[in-house]
Structure 1
Amino acid sequence: MTSTAPRLIAPALTGDQIRQKFLEFYAAKGHRILPSASLIPEDPTVLLTIAGMLPFKPIFLGQQAPTVPRATTSQKCIRTNDIENVGRTARHHTFFEMLGNFSFGDYFKTEAISWAWELLTEVYQLPPDRLVVSVFESDDQAWEIWHKKIGIPPEKICRMGEESNFWTAGPTGPCGPCSEIYYDFHPEHGTKDIDLDDDSRFIELYNLVFMELNQDSNKQRTPLQAKNIDTGMGLERMAQVLQGVPNNYETDLIFPIIQATANLANLNYADSPETTKTSLKVIGDHIRAVVHLISDGVSASNVGRGYVLRRLIRRVVRHGRLVGINKPFTTEVAEVALQMSEAVYPQVRQRQAVILSELEREEENFLKTLDRGEKLLAEIIAKAKSSKKKSKPAMISGLDAFTLYDTYGFPLELTQEIAAEQGLTVDEKGFEKEMESQRQRSQAAHETIDLTVQGSLDQLAEHIHPTKFIGYDQFALTTEIAALLVEGEIVKTAGPGTSVQVILSETPFYAESGGQIGDRGYLAGSDVLVQIEDVQKENGIFVHYGRIERGNLQTGDPVTAQIDLTCRRRVQAHHTATHLLQAALKKLIDDSISQAGSLVAFDRLRFDFNCPRALTPAEVQQVEDQVNTWITESHATQTEILPIAAAKAKGAIAMFGEKYGAEVRVLDVPGVSMELCGGTHVSNTAEIGLFKIIAETGVASGIRRIEAIAGPAVRDYLNQRDQIVRELMERFKVKPEEIIERITGLQTELKTSQKERDALKAELALLKAKDLLTQAQIVNDLNILVAELPDMDPNGLKTTAEWFLQKLPQGVVVLGSASDGKASLVAAMSLEAIKQGYHAGNLIKELAQLCGGGGGGRPNFAQAGGKQPEKLAEALELARMRLGL
């Protein structure tokens, strides 16, 4: 249940003000304000940072000495255990901020309780009669403090059991009772038999954990010598209360994202049905989550944190479709989240290019299969409903769910979520059975799908050492197969045609890292050949992705590993050119320019950088010329391994967001560039040959992108352009210098022809429209016309509706057309029709929703579109009914 919006009973504060007042309050109480830790926790047992105390877990467990006795933080958190409830309840989120104050063996219950009450009632000015507290059932000390020191009436102090009010770090270790502070939306209901689980009346604002005991393996608890305090206050919950809104989503922490999404969908949030509001809330919540996940270094994948990110992005895209957004949109709403976060978390703006690029790529990839997958799922749902048996709920078969996963990339969770919306379940056991059958077929398959290798790598990491990389200086070697995987599963052997993941004892293959893609090449044995197409690195283990071209491969086999030297030399040219490019930008444009992202491939390079303006064509040319000058000057490159402090002291540039060890590899082009870099490079700039900038564009506010080519890729580029020029010369029968003039002439002719065509179409539409005038009917003294005009674009439909309204005094005109796979609708109302209560915007919005779209407009005129033209006739029939025809 969700509560109704409370009236403002305290000064309304913004989310930023609530956060700041919390931190300042505890700083005044002797706490050190510490920055939020990353969403990627240092604790290897936890996937994501799920609570404000997690960064301090080693201190609470006695594994690490505290650096300060008291601390306070606003900690970014991610939880996905209740993802299905996001948007459906008032307070479930994936991303949220936890405000906390912590004592490491310093103060204890009296101070924690007294300060919490002072903060809520004096700083946030919540009325004391609106607050109710809970204590652990046997914690008489906390009860006494609340009652005798703070003055809370006994009937407003609820004793609760271990499930609700006792915290443990795990099966053993520190633990202790909790005391929670709740806000009461409806104090008029009295204090008899208070039920704090009634979330329509109560919301938990603040949780105080008193870590005073230690639990051993026999579940025996003894007092701790050093007692700790761990507290948590949900920022979004406090914002809901102080801003007087009905749920967390309508606070200023999330609602601007929802509003931006609604604008993209041409929706009014307040007037939208609950299902639409739910989708908008999901998008608002998830966009915050993905922005901060990517900012903290998570990349989308099919495993671990990457899978969480991918799942959230796909849910955003799908819910965008549900509200009528049929184009890529995630980067637009992400920009709103960036603006909202940058003052408190400046890293999100610094990582902006990476964030938007990751979103753009993931959305594009998912959209490629979403349409076909949704159509198939709709057919599957219809089939399941039609075959439903009376005694059993309708179910999607495991085979159908597997087909959606295998062919269209629909995760099982997404199929389950969509099915649940239709009142269906999914045969999960049947799905797992199909997955197992696929694994058994994999050895003989000619085409396989790489699902995930992470789980198997975790198993292998216990038995094999990190891969030794010798590829800086050695391009081939004889080694042995340390492990072999097929579709992420560990196997002993694999046959011809199988896609495999191979782990070697040592390797000359560079694994994708720092923007540089992995090497290509082959593995060869006495009777086996494996073509290697990509190399990735997980926890120091190099995974070689390839396909067995002939023979059988098995664990322990000796093989020759040989990289493709042509590809390696191409990528080396591009990587060193990227370093020269950054140096040229800093020298010629602005010394404060820094890298915001990069891609180094065999055929091109991409370099994103911080810059508040576009480069002029002259500046682009100057940068290109400078890089080519350094190339022709034949600078020898130098690499050395240094302690990171020494490398930075020498002036080496570090890439933001990259994690470096105690020792780093430094690439130095003397007098030109010095950067920390683990990639592969030319030994002399002359080996690059030539450098050419292809494009300079903006990818986000304050972020520019240069795309360029170097070395042999420039020759390929020039050959391609030369071939195009030759074909144009042949086609137009002109000289090279005459091509532009000839194309300009053709463009002029085309524009003239298009104008003539449009004029003819308008005349034809008008002739058709005149025939429809006779179909107008009189209802309540209004001339009402509802009609379909085939194959007419929205502009033509608008013009025709306006013409009809001129010809039909005191008229109501509703027109529809199906064109290019879409439905277009328009409604025009006279003043008399409006006086009788008709509203063009409201009517057209209802019709558009029936056609799978959205829109609206003014009382006198409105337009909309939909993606289901087959529903147009039904929509127009609804219009006739609404207009009394």
Structure 2
Amino acid sequence: QKDKNKLSGKDAFKLYDTYGFPLELTKDILREDGFEIEEENYEKEMKIQREKSRKSWLETKISVEIDKVKQKLYENVLKDYGQTKFIGYDFEERKSKVIAIIKDGKLVYEVKEGDNCEIILQKTPFYAEKGGQIGDKGVIISYTHDDLLITVSDTQRPVEGIVVHFAKINKGEIKVNDEVLARVDLIRRKAIARNHTATHLLHRTLRDVLGNHVKQSGSSVNDDHLRFDFNHFAPLTKDELDKIEDLLNNKILDNLKVETQFTTFDKAKEMGAMALFGEKYGEQVRVVKIGEFSLELCGGTHLDSTSNIGLFKILNEQGIGSSLRRVEAVTGAKALKYVKEKENIINEISDKLQIVPSEILLKIDQTINEVNNLKREIKITQNKLARYEIDKLISKKREIKGINIISVKVDALDNNDLRNWGDLIKEKIKSGVIVLGTELNQNKVGLLAMVTDDLLSKGFDAGNIIKAIAPIVGGRGGGKKTMAQAGGSKTDKLNQALDKVYEIV
């Protein structure tokens, strides 16, 4: 920064925009240490932000209008062509018929290579995002020729009854009424199913370990990891997390059968199935039963057996609101990868310490003890050196009208260290005025003034001394009559400030 005594307007605006610091508060804080703000640049940043906000508001308004038009389009497709039949519980690929194609927000008859579009099929094995489970990916191809390749990057249900495949035409062309083969990415689907079945096990496990007050308040299931939100009044302890992991992994090893059935909502409640609070259910619901351990209403895709989860590993547990907790975890190959990464770290530590993994904790304890012993030895040595340095500093004292005055520069690590120097000198001289100065990191100055108790009645005041010399180093300070401190930014003026003490006294 060109002017070292000024905070850039960009940084000042960041304090306001990101952390909520008002400009005036930042000014007051900086003024205490002799700093200012580049207000012209601050106003420029504020102007840029206002323009961004205005643009964002306009874009949001336009987006809302576009969404309304799109929603109406989907409703018309549902009205004209009927519902998409979901067959993904039983099939990962199936022949189907194209009933509608949307491109650039409009219904079109055909799309060609390179086009991005939305495809609606008569029936589909693709699961559309719902209930916290991410939508399927995969391909749509011709089941008679190899001249068609469409990649499906997402599957959504914008209105109930319609499944939309967000797609790109990589090869060939496709028209309304074409017969195609819809194929789900099976590896990804199974990874999602592992995480979804694991969330059901996690829900029941949390209730068993923490209590029946635990209820699911949200979840997110994809092929990478799972996230489970629930109500609970306190952070989970390590012991609780270990119990949850152990119990859940035991249920995986038990190879519990995962069964599903459709029934009425009332019948499902009679069976004891758990329903999510606030979720809307129709007359017909799907029940997912995992052995005798878990019974929930759920429309997502699942495994046939808990053993197919492989391994469950918690990554993180945190609070997300008042009495709301969140657990993030991985399963299957992702969990094995996580464990392997931890194992590699342990092995690397073992190699560096030249010990076997089982001896790491013992080695750490030994190292901590050695470090503490060395710290004690260093402290003893520093005290010996300090006493020698103190005698040197005291030898520089001046006596003015019978008062001992010491005003010198010392090498201190920080303001606490500076106070330690002052205490040692004060203890040694018994009576006098002590002023110490030091150069700190980032071109800062630290000042300390001390007055022994016997001189207070004679009008000596450490606070007044600091107030008189602090402006010389470009700072401000204050404190009590017996001790006061100040900071500044003009390191080249430190000696001048220390010399000024003799004039003041």
Query: Structure 1 residue 577 and structure 2 residue 209: aligned?
Result: no
What are the superposed Cα offsets for residues 211-268 of structure 1, whole Å, 9 maximum, x if unpaired? xxxxxxxxxxxxxxxxxxxxxxxxxxxxxxxxxxxxxxxxxxxxxxxxxxxxxxxxxx
Report matched runs for 1:738-777 at 5 Å: 738-753=359-374
- Per the alignment, residue 297 of structure 1 pairs with none
Instruction: State how far apart, in whole Å, the 2-side matches of 1:696 and 1:789 are.
Output: 46
Relative to structure 1, the CA distance from residue 859 to residue 621 in structure 2 (aligned partners, 3 Å threshold; closer, same or farther) is same
Report matched runs for 1:181-196 at 5 Å: none
Query: Structure 1 residue 660 and structure 2 residue 257: aligned?
Result: no
Instruction: State how far apart, in whole Å, the 2-side matches of 1:775 and 1:822 are.
Output: 27
Query: Structure 1 residue 682 and structure 2 residue 292: aligned?
Result: no
What are the superposed Cα offsets for residues 591-641 of structure 1, whole Å, 9 maximum, x if unpaired? 222235544343433444444456666654444343234332422231536
- Per the alignment, residue 312 of structure 2 pairs with 691
Instruction: State the shift of 1:863 in Å.
Output: 7.7
- Per the alignment, residue 565 of structure 1 pairs with 186
- Per the alignment, residue 69 of structure 2 pairs with 459
Query: Structure 1 residue 637 and structure 2 residue 259: aligned?
Result: yes
- List alignment gaps of at least 5 residues for structure 1: 1-278, 280-312, 325-377, 386-393, 402-411, 417-427, 440-449, 486-491
What are the superposed Cα offsets for residues 709-758 of structure 1, whole Å, 9 maximum, x if unpaired? 32222322333334334434444443343333334334444444556667
Q: Select which of 93, 102, 126 maps to 1:482.
A: 102
What are the superposed Cα offsets for residues 325-360 of structure 1, whole Å, 9 maximum, x if unpaired? xxxxxxxxxxxxxxxxxxxxxxxxxxxxxxxxxxxx
Report matched runs for 1:246-395 at 5 Å: 315=17, 317-319=19-21, 382=40
User: Could you tell me the TM-score, scaled by structure 1's length?
Assistant: 0.38
Instruction: State the shift of 1:583 in Å.
Output: 1.1
Secondary structure at 1:464 match in 2: helix
Q: Select which of 677, 693, 709 maps to 2:330.
A: 709
Instruction: State how far apart, in whole Å, the 2-side matches of 1:708 and 1:753 are.
Output: 42
Instruction: State how far apart, in whole Å, the 1-side matches of 2:481 and 2:152 are.
Output: 65
- Per the alignment, residue 50 of structure 2 pairs with 413
- Per the alignment, residue 120 of structure 2 pairs with 505
| Rg (Cα) greater in structure | 2
Instruction: State the shift of 1:815 in Å.
Output: 5.3
Instruction: State how far apart, in whole Å, the 2-side matches of 1:875 and 1:495 are.
Output: 74
What are the superposed Cα offsets for residues 812-838 of structure 1, whole Å, 9 maximum, x if unpaired? 75756544x696967555466797777
Instruction: State the shift of 1:582 in Å.
Output: 1.9
Secondary structure at 1:683 match in 2: coil
Instruction: State how far apart, in whole Å, the 1-side matches of 2:497 and 2:166 are.
Output: 58
Relative to structure 1, the CA distance from residue 661 to residue 616 in structure 2 (aligned partners, 3 Å threshold; closer, same or farther) is closer
Secondary structure at 2:301 match in 1: coil
Instruction: State the shift of 1:799 in Å.
Output: 2.6
- Per the alignment, residue 727 of structure 1 pairs with 348
Instruction: State the shift of 1:771 in Å.
Output: 8.2
Instruction: State how far apart, in whole Å, the 1-side matches of 2:437 and 2:111 are.
Output: 66
- Per the alignment, residue 226 of structure 2 pairs with 605
Instruction: State the shift of 1:523 in Å.
Output: 7.3
Instruction: State how far apart, in whole Å, the 2-side matches of 1:503 and 1:727 are.
Output: 49
Instruction: State how far apart, in whole Å, the 2-side matches of 1:552 and 1:777 are.
Output: 99
Instruction: State the shift of 1:554 in Å.
Output: 11
8 A contact 1:484–1:555 mirrored in 2? no
- Per the alignment, residue 149 of structure 1 pairs with none
Q: Sequence identity, in percent?
A: 26
Q: CA RMSD in A?
A: 6.2
Amino acid at match of 2:120: S
Report matched runs for 1:785-824 at 5 Å: 792-803=413-424, 811=433, 813=435, 818-819=440-441
8 A contact 1:633–1:686 mirrored in 2? yes
Amino acid at match of 1:591: N
What are the superposed Cα offsets for residues 54-90 of structure 1, whole Å, 9 maximum, x if unpaired? xxxxxxxxxxxxxxxxxxxxxxxxxxxxxxxxxxxxx
Instruction: State the shift of 1:572 in Å.
Output: 1.7
Secondary structure at 1:681 match in 2: coil
- Per the alignment, residue 82 of structure 1 pairs with none
Instruction: State the shift of 1:577 in Å.
Output: 1.3
Report matched runs for 1:164-243 at 5 Å: none
Instruction: State the shift of 1:584 in Å.
Output: 2.2
Instruction: State the shift of 1:505 in Å.
Output: 2.9
8 A contact 1:640–1:667 mirrored in 2? no
8 A contact 1:571–1:601 mirrored in 2? yes
Amino acid at match of 1:660: K
Instruction: State how far apart, in whole Å, the 1-side matches of 2:177 and 2:383 are.
Output: 74
Instruction: State how far apart, in whole Å, the 2-side matches of 1:572 and 1:860 are.
Output: 71
Query: Structure 1 residue 718 and structure 2 residue 339: aligned?
Result: yes
Relative to structure 1, the CA distance from residue 634 to residue 459 in structure 2 (aligned partners, 3 Å threshold; closer, same or farther) is same
Instruction: State the shift of 1:581 in Å.
Output: 1.9
Instruction: State how far apart, in whole Å, the 1-side matches of 2:46 and 2:177 are.
Output: 42
Amino acid at match of 1:458: K
Instruction: State how far apart, in whole Å, the 2-side matches of 1:771 and 1:521 are.
Output: 80
Instruction: State how far apart, in whole Å, the 2-side matches of 1:603 and 1:748 are.
Output: 42
Instruction: State the shift of 1:578 in Å.
Output: 1.8
8 A contact 1:483–1:555 mirrored in 2? no
Amino acid at match of 2:200: H
Instruction: State how far apart, in whole Å, the 2-side matches of 1:863 and 1:494 are.
Output: 76
Relative to structure 1, the CA distance from residue 693 to residue 415 in structure 2 (aligned partners, 3 Å threshold; closer, same or farther) is closer
Instruction: State the shift of 1:579 in Å.
Output: 1.3
8 A contact 2:120–2:165 mirrored in 1? no
Instruction: State how far apart, in whole Å, the 1-side matches of 2:18 and 2:126 are.
Output: 37
Instruction: State how far apart, in whole Å, the 1-side matches of 2:327 and 2:66 are.
Output: 39
Instruction: State how far apart, in whole Å, the 2-side matches of 1:596 and 1:827 are.
Output: 56
Instruction: State how far apart, in whole Å, the 2-side matches of 1:587 and 1:560 are.
Output: 45
What are the superposed Cα offsets for residues 369-424 of structure 1, whole Å, 9 maximum, x if unpaired? xxxxxxxxx98x75x69xxxxxxxx86799xx4xxxxxxxxxx33878xxxxxxxx
Instruction: State the shift of 1:575 in Å.
Output: 1.9
Instruction: State the shift of 1:590 in Å.
Output: 1.7
Instruction: State how far apart, in whole Å, the 2-side matches of 1:759 and 1:397 are.
Output: 55
Amino acid at match of 2:19: V
8 A contact 1:818–1:872 mirrored in 2? no
Instruction: State how far apart, in whole Å, the 2-side matches of 1:595 and 1:741 are.
Output: 41
Amino acid at match of 2:276: M
Instruction: State how far apart, in whole Å, the 2-side matches of 1:608 and 1:481 are.
Output: 37
Q: Using CA pairs under 8 Å that are at least 6 residues apart, name the structure with larger relative contact order, 1 or 2.
A: 2
Report matched runs for 1:431-450 at 5 Å: none
Instruction: State how far apart, in whole Å, the 1-side matches of 2:93 and 2:119 are.
Output: 13
8 A contact 2:397–2:405 mirrored in 1? no
Amino acid at match of 1:592: H
Secondary structure at 1:461 match in 2: helix
- Per the alignment, residue 48 of structure 1 pairs with none
Count how many residue pairs are aligned between Structure 1 and Structure 2. Answer: 445
User: Could you tell me the TM-score, scaled by structure 2's length?
Assistant: 0.60
8 A contact 1:580–1:627 mirrored in 2? yes
Report matched runs for 1:530-549 at 5 Å: 532=153
Amino acid at match of 1:628: N
What are the superposed Cα offsets for residues 826-869 of structure 1, whole Å, 9 maximum, x if unpaired? 755546679777759x97xx99xx99xx999877667899xxx9
